[in-house]
A and B are shown apart, each in its own frame.
Chain A
Protein backbone atom coordinates (compact mmCIF):
# COMPACT_ATOMS: atom_id res chain seq x y z
CA UNK A 1 0.00 0.00 0.00
CA UNK A 2 1.26 3.51 -0.86
CA UNK A 3 2.39 5.92 1.84
CA UNK A 4 0.40 9.11 1.40
CA UNK A 5 1.46 11.97 3.63
CA UNK A 6 0.94 15.64 4.30
CA UNK A 7 3.90 17.51 5.77
CA UNK A 8 3.56 20.21 8.44
CA UNK A 9 6.54 22.50 8.89
CA UNK A 10 7.47 25.84 10.46
CA UNK A 11 9.58 27.31 13.24
CA UNK A 12 9.62 26.22 16.88
CA UNK A 13 6.34 27.01 18.62
CA UNK A 14 4.32 27.70 15.46
CA UNK A 15 1.76 25.01 16.34
CA UNK A 16 2.69 22.03 14.14
CA UNK A 17 2.14 19.47 16.90
CA UNK A 18 -1.18 21.06 17.88
CA UNK A 19 -2.37 21.29 14.27
CA UNK A 20 -1.72 17.60 13.66
CA UNK A 21 -3.50 16.83 16.92
CA UNK A 22 -6.53 18.82 15.68
CA UNK A 23 -7.19 16.67 12.62
CA UNK A 24 -5.63 13.32 13.48
CA UNK A 25 -7.92 10.33 14.09
CA UNK A 26 -5.49 8.81 16.53
CA UNK A 27 -3.65 10.41 19.41
CA UNK A 28 -0.57 11.74 17.67
CA UNK A 29 2.77 10.17 18.35
CA UNK A 30 4.82 12.97 19.83
CA UNK A 31 8.55 12.98 20.12
CA UNK A 32 8.75 16.05 22.30
CA UNK A 33 11.57 16.45 24.78
CA UNK A 34 12.47 19.03 27.36
CA UNK A 35 14.08 21.88 25.47
CA UNK A 36 17.66 22.44 26.45
CA UNK A 37 18.75 25.17 24.07
CA UNK A 38 17.40 28.57 23.12
CA UNK A 39 14.10 26.89 22.26
CA UNK A 40 13.52 26.83 26.01
CA UNK A 41 12.70 30.54 25.86
CA UNK A 42 9.62 29.83 23.75
CA UNK A 43 8.33 26.53 25.08
CA UNK A 44 9.31 24.00 27.68
CA UNK A 45 8.84 20.97 25.38
CA UNK A 46 9.85 20.84 21.75
CA UNK A 47 9.73 18.35 18.91
CA UNK A 48 13.15 16.78 18.48
CA UNK A 49 12.38 14.16 15.86
CA UNK A 50 8.92 14.46 14.33
CA UNK A 51 5.22 14.34 15.11
CA UNK A 52 3.01 11.81 13.51
CA UNK A 53 -0.74 11.52 13.14
CA UNK A 54 -3.18 9.65 10.91
CA UNK A 55 -6.36 10.51 9.05
CA UNK A 56 -8.42 7.42 8.25
CA UNK A 57 -10.30 7.62 4.95
CA UNK A 58 -13.59 5.85 4.28
CA UNK A 59 -12.02 3.22 2.01
CA UNK A 60 -9.51 2.20 4.68
CA UNK A 61 -6.69 4.26 3.20
CA UNK A 62 -4.58 6.20 5.71
CA UNK A 63 -3.12 9.68 5.29
CA UNK A 64 -0.02 10.15 7.38
CA UNK A 65 0.51 13.57 8.91
CA UNK A 66 4.14 14.39 9.63
CA UNK A 67 5.36 17.41 11.56
CA UNK A 68 8.97 18.33 10.99
CA UNK A 69 11.13 19.28 13.93
CA UNK A 70 11.48 23.05 14.05
CA UNK A 71 15.15 23.11 14.81
CA UNK A 72 17.82 23.55 12.19
CA UNK A 73 19.97 20.69 13.33
CA UNK A 74 17.29 18.24 12.25
CA UNK A 75 16.89 19.63 8.74
CA UNK A 76 18.58 16.54 7.27
CA UNK A 77 15.27 14.80 8.00
CA UNK A 78 13.22 17.20 5.91
CA UNK A 79 14.21 15.69 2.56
CA UNK A 80 13.49 12.19 3.81
CA UNK A 81 10.11 13.22 5.20
CA UNK A 82 8.88 14.87 2.01
CA UNK A 83 9.42 11.89 -0.30
CA UNK A 84 5.99 10.91 -1.59
CA UNK A 85 4.31 13.83 0.18
CA UNK A 86 1.01 15.22 -1.13
CA UNK A 87 1.81 18.82 -0.17
CA UNK A 88 3.19 21.16 2.46
CA UNK A 89 1.45 23.05 5.27
CA UNK A 90 3.70 25.85 6.55
CA UNK A 91 2.81 27.30 9.96
CA UNK A 92 4.28 30.65 11.05
CA UNK A 93 4.15 32.26 14.50
CA UNK A 94 3.09 35.91 14.18
CA UNK A 95 4.54 36.88 17.56
CA UNK A 96 8.09 36.14 16.45
CA UNK A 97 10.40 39.05 15.78
CA UNK A 98 10.55 38.51 12.02
CA UNK A 99 8.01 35.98 10.69
CA UNK A 100 8.83 36.98 7.09
CA UNK A 101 12.36 35.73 7.63
CA UNK A 102 10.89 32.43 8.87
CA UNK A 103 8.61 32.23 5.83
CA UNK A 104 11.45 32.88 3.41
CA UNK A 105 13.62 30.28 5.11
CA UNK A 106 11.05 27.48 5.00
CA UNK A 107 9.84 28.28 1.48
CA UNK A 108 13.44 28.21 0.28
CA UNK A 109 14.20 25.00 2.18
CA UNK A 110 11.19 23.20 0.70
CA UNK A 111 11.22 24.92 -2.71
CA UNK A 112 11.71 21.68 -4.65
CA UNK A 113 8.89 19.92 -2.84
CA UNK A 114 6.58 22.94 -3.25
CA UNK A 115 7.34 23.14 -6.98
CA UNK A 116 6.32 19.48 -7.34
CA UNK A 117 3.24 19.76 -5.13
CA UNK A 118 1.80 22.86 -3.43
CA UNK A 119 1.91 24.82 -0.18
CA UNK A 120 -0.68 26.44 2.11
CA UNK A 121 0.45 28.85 4.81
CA UNK A 122 -1.17 29.21 8.24
CA UNK A 123 -0.28 32.18 10.44
CA UNK A 124 -0.75 31.37 14.12
CA UNK A 125 -0.97 33.59 17.23
CA UNK A 126 -2.68 36.41 15.34
CA UNK A 127 -4.89 36.88 18.38
CA UNK A 128 -1.77 37.90 20.26
CA UNK A 129 -0.18 39.96 17.54
CA UNK A 130 -2.21 41.19 14.58
CA UNK A 131 0.85 42.57 12.78
CA UNK A 132 2.07 41.65 10.22
CA UNK A 133 -1.34 41.24 8.63
CA UNK A 134 -2.33 38.53 6.15
CA UNK A 135 -2.11 41.15 3.41
CA UNK A 136 1.47 41.90 4.47
CA UNK A 137 2.31 38.21 3.99
CA UNK A 138 0.82 38.29 0.48
CA UNK A 139 2.91 41.37 -0.35
CA UNK A 140 6.04 39.49 0.71
CA UNK A 141 5.03 36.43 -1.28
CA UNK A 142 4.55 38.55 -4.40
CA UNK A 143 8.26 39.34 -4.34
CA UNK A 144 8.87 35.59 -4.41
CA UNK A 145 6.40 35.16 -7.28
CA UNK A 146 4.17 32.89 -5.17
CA UNK A 147 0.40 33.02 -4.67
CA UNK A 148 -0.40 30.38 -2.06
CA UNK A 149 -3.34 30.44 0.35
CA UNK A 150 -2.42 32.30 3.56
CA UNK A 151 -4.89 31.97 6.43
CA UNK A 152 -5.05 33.09 10.07
CA UNK A 153 -5.01 29.84 12.00
CA UNK A 154 -5.60 28.82 15.57
CA UNK A 155 -3.90 25.42 15.54
CA UNK A 156 -6.19 24.25 18.37
CA UNK A 157 -9.30 24.80 16.24
CA UNK A 158 -10.09 21.87 13.98
CA UNK A 159 -12.03 23.99 11.49
CA UNK A 160 -9.07 26.34 10.97
CA UNK A 161 -6.64 23.49 10.32
CA UNK A 162 -9.18 21.67 8.17
CA UNK A 163 -9.77 24.75 5.95
CA UNK A 164 -6.02 25.22 5.55
CA UNK A 165 -5.53 21.62 4.43
CA UNK A 166 -8.59 21.94 2.13
CA UNK A 167 -6.95 25.00 0.52
CA UNK A 168 -3.84 22.90 -0.07
CA UNK A 169 -5.93 20.20 -1.77
CA UNK A 170 -7.84 22.70 -3.95
CA UNK A 171 -4.54 24.32 -4.94
CA UNK A 172 -3.54 20.91 -6.27
CA UNK A 173 -6.87 20.46 -8.04
CA UNK A 174 -9.66 23.11 -8.01
CA UNK A 175 -11.97 20.58 -9.62
CA UNK A 176 -12.06 18.37 -6.52
CA UNK A 177 -15.44 17.43 -5.15
CA UNK A 178 -16.10 15.60 -1.92
Chain B
Protein backbone atom coordinates (compact mmCIF):
# COMPACT_ATOMS: atom_id res chain seq x y z
CA UNK B 1 0.00 0.00 0.00
CA UNK B 2 1.46 3.33 -0.99
CA UNK B 3 1.61 5.63 1.98
CA UNK B 4 0.33 9.12 1.93
CA UNK B 5 3.12 11.54 2.87
CA UNK B 6 0.88 13.44 5.27
CA UNK B 7 -0.24 10.34 7.17
CA UNK B 8 1.93 9.67 10.22
CA UNK B 9 3.44 6.26 10.81
CA UNK B 10 1.58 4.47 13.63
CA UNK B 11 3.86 3.01 16.30
CA UNK B 12 3.10 0.74 19.24
CA UNK B 13 5.59 0.53 22.13
CA UNK B 14 6.28 -2.60 24.18
CA UNK B 15 8.32 -3.18 27.31
CA UNK B 16 8.54 0.52 28.10
CA UNK B 17 7.44 2.32 31.24
CA UNK B 18 5.33 5.47 31.33
CA UNK B 19 8.36 7.75 31.40
CA UNK B 20 9.90 6.16 28.31
CA UNK B 21 6.50 6.34 26.59
CA UNK B 22 6.41 10.09 27.21
CA UNK B 23 9.98 10.56 26.03
CA UNK B 24 9.26 8.66 22.83
CA UNK B 25 6.10 10.70 22.27
CA UNK B 26 8.03 13.94 22.76
CA UNK B 27 10.80 12.79 20.45
CA UNK B 28 8.34 11.89 17.71
CA UNK B 29 6.63 15.26 18.00
CA UNK B 30 9.96 17.12 18.04
CA UNK B 31 12.95 15.73 16.14
CA UNK B 32 10.78 13.41 14.04
CA UNK B 33 8.34 16.25 13.29
CA UNK B 34 5.16 14.30 13.88
CA UNK B 35 5.88 11.89 11.05
CA UNK B 36 5.09 9.07 13.49
CA UNK B 37 2.74 8.85 16.45
CA UNK B 38 2.22 6.35 19.27
CA UNK B 39 -0.98 4.34 19.18
CA UNK B 40 -2.18 1.15 20.84
CA UNK B 41 -1.24 -2.27 19.53
CA UNK B 42 -4.44 -2.71 17.55
CA UNK B 43 -3.96 0.33 15.36
CA UNK B 44 -0.19 0.18 14.93
CA UNK B 45 1.70 -0.32 11.66
CA UNK B 46 5.11 -0.79 13.32
CA UNK B 47 6.06 -2.36 16.67
CA UNK B 48 8.87 -0.90 18.80
CA UNK B 49 10.16 -3.22 21.53
CA UNK B 50 12.64 -2.51 24.31
CA UNK B 51 14.75 -5.65 23.87
CA UNK B 52 16.39 -5.13 27.26
CA UNK B 53 13.06 -5.62 29.02
CA UNK B 54 12.86 -8.73 31.21
CA UNK B 55 10.09 -10.20 29.04
CA UNK B 56 11.48 -8.97 25.72
CA UNK B 57 11.62 -12.46 24.20
CA UNK B 58 7.97 -13.12 25.04
CA UNK B 59 6.99 -9.72 23.68
CA UNK B 60 8.84 -10.40 20.43
CA UNK B 61 7.32 -13.88 20.06
CA UNK B 62 3.87 -12.49 20.75
CA UNK B 63 4.20 -9.74 18.14
CA UNK B 64 5.47 -12.22 15.54
CA UNK B 65 2.53 -14.47 16.29
CA UNK B 66 -0.17 -11.79 16.38
CA UNK B 67 1.00 -9.48 13.60
CA UNK B 68 3.57 -11.31 11.50
CA UNK B 69 3.27 -8.78 8.67
CA UNK B 70 4.20 -5.81 10.86
CA UNK B 71 7.80 -4.44 10.90
CA UNK B 72 9.48 -4.72 14.31
CA UNK B 73 12.16 -2.39 15.66
CA UNK B 74 14.24 -3.59 18.62
CA UNK B 75 15.99 -1.17 20.97
CA UNK B 76 18.91 -2.59 22.94
CA UNK B 77 22.22 -1.77 24.60
CA UNK B 78 23.66 -4.87 22.97
CA UNK B 79 24.17 -5.39 19.26
CA UNK B 80 21.32 -7.63 18.01
CA UNK B 81 20.91 -9.58 14.78
CA UNK B 82 17.46 -11.14 14.87
CA UNK B 83 15.99 -12.16 11.55
CA UNK B 84 13.03 -10.11 10.41
CA UNK B 85 13.66 -7.24 12.83
CA UNK B 86 15.31 -3.83 12.65
CA UNK B 87 17.75 -2.79 15.36
CA UNK B 88 18.54 0.54 17.05
CA UNK B 89 21.34 0.73 19.61
CA UNK B 90 20.71 2.36 22.97
CA UNK B 91 21.21 5.10 24.01
CA UNK B 92 19.17 6.05 20.99
CA UNK B 93 20.74 8.37 18.45
CA UNK B 94 18.25 10.42 16.44
CA UNK B 95 19.80 9.41 13.11
CA UNK B 96 19.63 5.70 13.97
CA UNK B 97 15.97 5.81 14.92
CA UNK B 98 15.06 7.94 11.90
CA UNK B 99 16.85 5.42 9.70
CA UNK B 100 15.02 2.46 11.30
CA UNK B 101 11.65 4.15 10.97
CA UNK B 102 12.37 4.88 7.30
CA UNK B 103 13.27 1.23 6.72
CA UNK B 104 10.07 0.15 8.46
CA UNK B 105 8.11 2.59 6.30
CA UNK B 106 9.78 1.16 3.19
CA UNK B 107 8.87 -2.36 4.27
CA UNK B 108 5.24 -1.30 4.59
CA UNK B 109 5.26 0.47 1.22
CA UNK B 110 6.78 -2.52 -0.54
CA UNK B 111 4.15 -4.97 0.70
CA UNK B 112 1.85 -5.95 -2.17
CA UNK B 113 -1.76 -4.91 -1.91
CA UNK B 114 -4.12 -7.71 -0.96
CA UNK B 115 -5.63 -9.39 -3.99
CA UNK B 116 -8.95 -11.12 -4.03
CA UNK B 117 -8.70 -14.85 -4.62
CA UNK B 118 -11.22 -17.07 -6.25
CA UNK B 119 -11.20 -19.34 -3.22
CA UNK B 120 -9.99 -18.33 0.19
CA UNK B 121 -7.51 -21.15 0.65
CA UNK B 122 -5.17 -18.90 2.47
CA UNK B 123 -2.21 -21.22 2.83
CA UNK B 124 -2.13 -22.54 -0.70
CA UNK B 125 1.06 -22.72 -2.73
CA UNK B 126 0.31 -24.13 -6.17
CA UNK B 127 2.51 -26.78 -7.81
CA UNK B 128 3.30 -24.25 -10.54
CA UNK B 129 4.59 -21.81 -7.95
CA UNK B 130 6.66 -24.54 -6.39
CA UNK B 131 8.22 -25.37 -9.74
CA UNK B 132 9.07 -21.73 -10.25
CA UNK B 133 11.10 -21.86 -7.08
CA UNK B 134 8.66 -20.02 -4.87
CA UNK B 135 9.64 -20.84 -1.30
CA UNK B 136 7.63 -23.78 -0.01
CA UNK B 137 7.19 -22.90 3.62
CA UNK B 138 7.11 -25.60 6.25
CA UNK B 139 3.90 -26.58 8.01
CA UNK B 140 5.18 -24.99 11.19
CA UNK B 141 5.97 -21.72 9.48
CA UNK B 142 2.62 -21.69 7.72
CA UNK B 143 0.76 -22.17 10.95
CA UNK B 144 2.73 -19.46 12.68
CA UNK B 145 1.92 -17.11 9.83
CA UNK B 146 -1.68 -18.05 9.30
CA UNK B 147 -3.06 -19.03 12.69
CA UNK B 148 -3.81 -15.94 14.68
CA UNK B 149 -3.62 -17.50 18.10
CA UNK B 150 -3.73 -15.58 21.35
CA UNK B 151 -2.31 -17.86 24.06
CA UNK B 152 -4.03 -15.95 26.87
CA UNK B 153 -7.47 -15.94 25.28
CA UNK B 154 -8.04 -19.63 25.95
CA UNK B 155 -7.53 -19.04 29.70
CA UNK B 156 -10.45 -16.61 29.80
CA UNK B 157 -12.95 -19.37 30.36
CA UNK B 158 -15.82 -17.11 31.50
CA UNK B 159 -15.79 -15.43 28.11
CA UNK B 160 -16.11 -18.67 26.21
CA UNK B 161 -18.56 -20.58 28.40
CA UNK B 162 -21.68 -21.77 26.61
CA UNK B 163 -25.02 -20.03 27.21
CA UNK B 164 -27.39 -20.67 30.07
CA UNK B 165 -30.82 -21.33 28.61
CA UNK B 166 -33.69 -20.20 30.88
CA UNK B 167 -37.08 -21.78 30.44
CA UNK B 168 -40.38 -20.18 31.49
CA UNK B 169 -40.42 -22.51 34.49
CA UNK B 170 -36.97 -21.48 35.67
CA UNK B 171 -37.36 -17.77 34.96
CA UNK B 172 -38.76 -16.52 38.27
CA UNK B 173 -36.90 -18.98 40.45
CA UNK B 174 -33.59 -17.98 38.86
CA UNK B 175 -34.19 -14.24 38.74
CA UNK B 176 -36.24 -13.75 41.86
CA UNK B 177 -39.41 -11.69 42.31
CA UNK B 178 -40.08 -7.97 42.19
CA UNK B 179 -41.80 -6.70 45.29
CA UNK B 180 -45.11 -5.01 44.56
CA UNK B 181 -45.50 -6.33 41.01
CA UNK B 182 -47.80 -9.20 40.19
CA UNK B 183 -46.86 -10.56 36.79
CA UNK B 184 -50.21 -12.28 36.53
CA UNK B 185 -51.90 -8.86 36.39
CA UNK B 186 -51.40 -7.43 32.87
CA UNK B 187 -52.00 -3.84 34.00
CA UNK B 188 -49.25 -4.11 36.60
CA UNK B 189 -46.91 -5.75 34.09
CA UNK B 190 -47.37 -2.90 31.61
CA UNK B 191 -46.39 -0.40 34.28
CA UNK B 192 -43.45 -2.41 35.56
CA UNK B 193 -40.46 -0.34 34.54
CA UNK B 194 -37.10 0.36 36.17
CA UNK B 195 -34.55 3.13 35.95
CA UNK B 196 -31.12 1.61 35.13
CA UNK B 197 -29.42 4.60 36.78
CA UNK B 198 -30.76 3.48 40.15
CA UNK B 199 -29.02 0.12 39.90
CA UNK B 200 -25.47 -1.14 39.49
CA UNK B 201 -26.30 -1.59 35.79
CA UNK B 202 -26.47 2.18 35.23
CA UNK B 203 -23.10 2.79 36.87
CA UNK B 204 -21.46 0.02 34.86
CA UNK B 205 -22.97 1.31 31.60
CA UNK B 206 -21.68 4.78 32.36
CA UNK B 207 -18.20 3.47 33.22
CA UNK B 208 -18.09 1.43 29.98
CA UNK B 209 -19.00 4.56 28.00
CA UNK B 210 -16.33 6.71 29.69
CA UNK B 211 -13.66 4.01 29.32
CA UNK B 212 -14.43 3.65 25.60
CA UNK B 213 -14.47 7.40 25.00
CA UNK B 214 -11.16 7.93 26.76
CA UNK B 215 -9.63 4.70 25.45
CA UNK B 216 -8.28 4.05 28.98
CA UNK B 217 -8.35 1.16 31.39
CA UNK B 218 -10.55 2.31 34.28
CA UNK B 219 -11.63 0.88 37.62
CA UNK B 220 -15.08 1.31 39.16
CA UNK B 221 -14.98 1.26 42.96
CA UNK B 222 -18.40 0.62 44.40
CA UNK B 223 -17.87 -0.30 48.02
CA UNK B 224 -18.19 -3.90 46.83
CA UNK B 225 -15.62 -5.52 44.54
CA UNK B 226 -13.80 -3.35 42.00
CA UNK B 227 -14.65 -3.70 38.34
CA UNK B 228 -11.98 -3.05 35.71
CA UNK B 229 -12.80 -1.97 32.17
CA UNK B 230 -10.57 -2.79 29.21
CA UNK B 231 -11.84 -0.70 26.27
CA UNK B 232 -9.47 -2.06 23.61
CA UNK B 233 -10.38 -5.70 24.13
CA UNK B 234 -14.00 -5.00 25.12
CA UNK B 235 -13.54 -6.85 28.40
CA UNK B 236 -14.57 -6.36 32.01
CA UNK B 237 -12.72 -8.00 34.88
CA UNK B 238 -14.33 -8.86 38.21
CA UNK B 239 -13.15 -11.14 40.99
CA UNK B 240 -16.59 -12.52 41.90
CA UNK B 241 -18.75 -15.38 40.76
CA UNK B 242 -22.07 -14.95 38.95
CA UNK B 243 -24.12 -15.74 42.05
CA UNK B 244 -22.52 -12.89 43.99
CA UNK B 245 -22.92 -10.53 41.07
CA UNK B 246 -26.58 -11.50 40.62
CA UNK B 247 -27.33 -10.60 44.21
CA UNK B 248 -25.56 -7.25 43.91
CA UNK B 249 -27.23 -6.43 40.57
CA UNK B 250 -30.70 -6.61 42.08
CA UNK B 251 -30.02 -4.05 44.81
CA UNK B 252 -31.31 -0.55 44.30
CA UNK B 253 -28.49 1.93 44.86
CA UNK B 254 -29.62 4.84 46.98
CA UNK B 255 -28.09 8.32 46.92
CA UNK B 256 -25.69 7.66 49.77
CA UNK B 257 -24.41 4.45 48.17
CA UNK B 258 -24.06 6.10 44.78
CA UNK B 259 -21.54 8.53 46.31
CA UNK B 260 -19.26 5.56 46.98
CA UNK B 261 -19.07 4.88 43.23
CA UNK B 262 -15.75 6.17 41.95
CA UNK B 263 -14.21 5.71 38.52
CA UNK B 264 -10.41 5.87 38.59
CA UNK B 265 -7.48 5.12 36.28
CA UNK B 266 -6.37 1.51 36.55
CA UNK B 267 -3.38 1.09 34.24
CA UNK B 268 -1.26 -0.37 37.06
CA UNK B 269 -3.64 -3.15 38.14
CA UNK B 270 -3.58 -5.02 34.83
CA UNK B 271 -1.05 -7.60 36.04
CA UNK B 272 -3.34 -8.50 38.97
CA UNK B 273 -6.13 -9.26 36.49
CA UNK B 274 -3.82 -11.50 34.47
CA UNK B 275 -3.32 -13.61 37.59
CA UNK B 276 -7.01 -14.50 37.45
CA UNK B 277 -8.00 -14.90 33.81
CA UNK B 278 -11.31 -16.47 34.88
CA UNK B 279 -12.39 -12.98 35.96
CA UNK B 280 -12.50 -11.64 32.39
CA UNK B 281 -15.94 -11.22 30.81
CA UNK B 282 -16.85 -9.85 27.45
CA UNK B 283 -18.29 -6.39 28.09
CA UNK B 284 -21.55 -7.05 26.23
CA UNK B 285 -22.01 -10.39 28.00
CA UNK B 286 -21.52 -8.71 31.37
CA UNK B 287 -23.95 -5.86 30.63
CA UNK B 288 -26.49 -8.33 29.25
CA UNK B 289 -26.38 -10.42 32.45
CA UNK B 290 -26.64 -7.36 34.66
CA UNK B 291 -29.61 -6.09 32.69
CA UNK B 292 -31.45 -9.43 32.93
CA UNK B 293 -30.88 -9.59 36.68
CA UNK B 294 -31.95 -5.99 37.12
CA UNK B 295 -35.01 -6.22 34.89
CA UNK B 296 -36.51 -9.45 36.25
CA UNK B 297 -39.27 -8.98 33.67
CA UNK B 298 -39.57 -5.17 33.82
CA UNK B 299 -38.62 -2.78 30.99
CA UNK B 300 -36.16 0.13 31.20
CA UNK B 301 -37.71 3.58 31.61
CA UNK B 302 -35.65 4.81 28.68
CA UNK B 303 -37.84 2.73 26.34
CA UNK B 304 -41.41 3.75 25.54
CA UNK B 305 -43.20 0.42 25.26
CA UNK B 306 -46.00 1.95 23.22
CA UNK B 307 -43.56 2.91 20.47
CA UNK B 308 -41.76 0.41 18.19
CA UNK B 309 -38.23 -0.73 18.87
CA UNK B 310 -35.77 -2.20 16.39
CA UNK B 311 -33.02 -4.80 16.69
CA UNK B 312 -29.69 -3.82 15.14
CA UNK B 313 -28.37 -7.40 14.84
CA UNK B 314 -28.80 -10.84 16.40
CA UNK B 315 -27.28 -11.06 19.89
CA UNK B 316 -24.46 -13.59 20.27
CA UNK B 317 -26.78 -16.00 22.08
CA UNK B 318 -24.28 -18.83 22.60
CA UNK B 319 -22.37 -16.67 25.09
CA UNK B 320 -25.32 -14.92 26.77
CA UNK B 321 -28.03 -15.68 29.25
CA UNK B 322 -30.87 -16.84 27.00
CA UNK B 323 -34.16 -15.75 28.56
CA UNK B 324 -37.44 -17.50 27.64
CA UNK B 325 -38.38 -16.97 23.95
CA UNK B 326 -35.38 -14.64 23.41
CA UNK B 327 -34.40 -16.32 20.12
CA UNK B 328 -37.96 -16.07 18.77
CA UNK B 329 -38.14 -12.41 19.76
CA UNK B 330 -34.81 -11.71 18.03
CA UNK B 331 -35.89 -13.57 14.88
CA UNK B 332 -39.10 -11.52 14.72
CA UNK B 333 -37.57 -8.16 15.59
CA UNK B 334 -34.75 -8.51 13.07
CA UNK B 335 -37.45 -8.48 10.37
CA UNK B 336 -38.53 -4.95 11.33
CA UNK B 337 -39.47 -2.63 14.22
CA UNK B 338 -42.36 -3.55 16.51
CA UNK B 339 -43.77 -2.51 19.86
CA UNK B 340 -43.15 -4.77 22.83
CA UNK B 341 -46.84 -5.62 23.07
CA UNK B 342 -47.13 -6.47 19.37
CA UNK B 343 -44.18 -8.87 19.80
CA UNK B 344 -45.88 -10.51 22.79
CA UNK B 345 -49.14 -10.82 20.85
CA UNK B 346 -47.51 -12.10 17.66
CA UNK B 347 -45.57 -14.80 19.50
CA UNK B 348 -48.35 -15.44 22.03
CA UNK B 349 -46.02 -15.00 25.00
CA UNK B 350 -46.17 -13.08 28.27
CA UNK B 351 -44.98 -9.43 28.00
CA UNK B 352 -42.36 -9.83 30.73
CA UNK B 353 -40.34 -12.13 28.45
CA UNK B 354 -40.29 -9.38 25.83
CA UNK B 355 -39.41 -6.76 28.45
CA UNK B 356 -36.47 -8.70 29.83
CA UNK B 357 -35.13 -9.23 26.29
CA UNK B 358 -35.55 -5.54 25.47
CA UNK B 359 -33.79 -4.59 28.74
CA UNK B 360 -30.79 -6.79 28.00
CA UNK B 361 -30.50 -5.94 24.31
CA UNK B 362 -30.95 -2.24 25.07
CA UNK B 363 -28.17 -2.39 27.68
CA UNK B 364 -25.69 -3.55 25.02
CA UNK B 365 -26.98 -1.14 22.37
CA UNK B 366 -28.69 -3.74 20.18
CA UNK B 367 -32.26 -2.53 20.75
CA UNK B 368 -33.29 1.10 20.41
CA UNK B 369 -36.46 3.01 19.92
CA UNK B 370 -37.31 3.15 16.23
CA UNK B 371 -37.21 6.81 15.35
CA UNK B 372 -36.20 6.73 11.73
CA UNK B 373 -38.89 7.81 9.30
CA UNK B 374 -38.45 4.55 7.43
CA UNK B 375 -39.24 2.61 10.60
CA UNK B 376 -42.52 4.47 11.03
CA UNK B 377 -43.47 3.79 7.45
CA UNK B 378 -43.07 0.06 7.93
CA UNK B 379 -46.15 -1.20 9.67
CA UNK B 380 -45.50 -4.81 10.54
CA UNK B 381 -48.43 -7.14 10.54
CA UNK B 382 -49.30 -8.47 13.97
CA UNK B 383 -49.54 -11.98 12.65
CA UNK B 384 -46.48 -14.12 12.10
CA UNK B 385 -46.86 -16.00 8.84
CA UNK B 386 -46.16 -19.65 9.59
CA UNK B 387 -43.77 -21.41 7.26
CA UNK B 388 -45.08 -24.26 5.10
CA UNK B 389 -43.02 -26.76 7.06
CA UNK B 390 -43.93 -25.36 10.48
CA UNK B 391 -44.75 -28.76 11.92
CA UNK B 392 -41.46 -30.27 10.81
CA UNK B 393 -39.39 -27.29 12.03
CA UNK B 394 -41.18 -27.43 15.38
CA UNK B 395 -40.32 -31.10 15.75
CA UNK B 396 -36.65 -30.42 14.95
CA UNK B 397 -36.71 -27.67 17.58
CA UNK B 398 -38.21 -30.06 20.12
CA UNK B 399 -35.49 -32.60 19.37
CA UNK B 400 -32.72 -29.98 19.76
CA UNK B 401 -34.08 -28.84 23.12
CA UNK B 402 -34.42 -32.33 24.54
Contacts and interface: CB of A to CB of B under 8 A. Distances in A.
A177 B349 CA distance: 11
Q: Which of B117, B163, B332, B385 has the most CB of A within 10 A?
A: B163
B120 A95 contact: no
A178 B397 contact: yes
B153 A173 contact: no
24 contacts: A41-B146, A55-B400, A56-B399, A59-B395, A72-B119, A86-B393, A101-B116, A101-B122, A105-B119, A127-B156, A127-B159, A128-B147, A151-B314, A151-B316, A154-B160, A162-B401, A163-B165, A167-B327, A173-B386, A174-B335, A175-B390, A176-B397, A177-B397, A178-B398
B120 A167 contact: no
Among B159, B160, B234, B398, max chain A CB count under 10 A is at B160
B393 A176 contact: yes
Contacts of A63: 396, 399
B389 interface: yes
Nearest to B117: A101
Interface in A77-129: 86, 94-98, 101-102, 104-105, 122, 126-129
Interface of A: 4, 11-12, 23, 38, 40-42, 55-59, 61, 63, 71-72, 86, 94-98, 101-102, 104-105, 122, 126-131, 133-135, 138, 147-154, 157, 159-160, 162-167, 169-178
Q: How large is the interface on B (under 10, 10 to 19, 20 to 34, 35 or more residues)?
A: 35 or more
Contact of A160 (B162, B334, B389): B162
A127 B280 CA distance: 12
A170 B327 contact: yes
A128 B151 CA distance: 7
Nearest to A94: B148
Given A163-B318, A167-B314, A175 B347 contact: yes
Contacts of A162: 400-401
Contact of B393 (A56, A135, A169): A169
Contact of B384 (A41, A98, A160, A174): A174
A175 B386 CA distance: 7
Contacts of B123: 38, 41-42
B139 A138 contact: no
A55 B393 CA distance: 12
B122 A41 contact: no
B318 A57 contact: no
Given A40-B139, A96-B122, A175-B390, A57 B150 contact: no
A167 B148 contact: no
Closest 10 CB pairs of A and B: A170-B331, A175-B384, A174-B331, A174-B332, A173-B387, A178-B398, A149-B314, A101-B120, A151-B318, A178-B397
Contacts of A12: 121
B341 interface: no
B394 A177 contact: yes
B160 A58 contact: no
Given A169-B397, A170-B331, A127 B160 contact: yes
A107 to B, nearest CB: 12
Contact of B153 (A86, A102, A128): A128
Contacts of B125: 38
B234 A172 contact: no
Given A130-B159, A171-B331, 7 more contacts: A41-B123, A72-B119, A128-B150, A129-B147, A151-B316, A159-B162, A176-B394
B120 A176 contact: no
A16 to B, nearest CB: 15
B330 interface: yes
Contacts of A11: 120-121
Interface string B371-402: 00000000000001111011011111111110
Contacts of B346: 174-175
Given A42-B123, A126-B160, A159-B165, A176 B390 contact: yes
A61 B159 CA distance: 37
B318 A164 contact: yes
Given A151-B317, A153-B318, A97 B393 contact: no
Interface string B105-118: 00000000000111
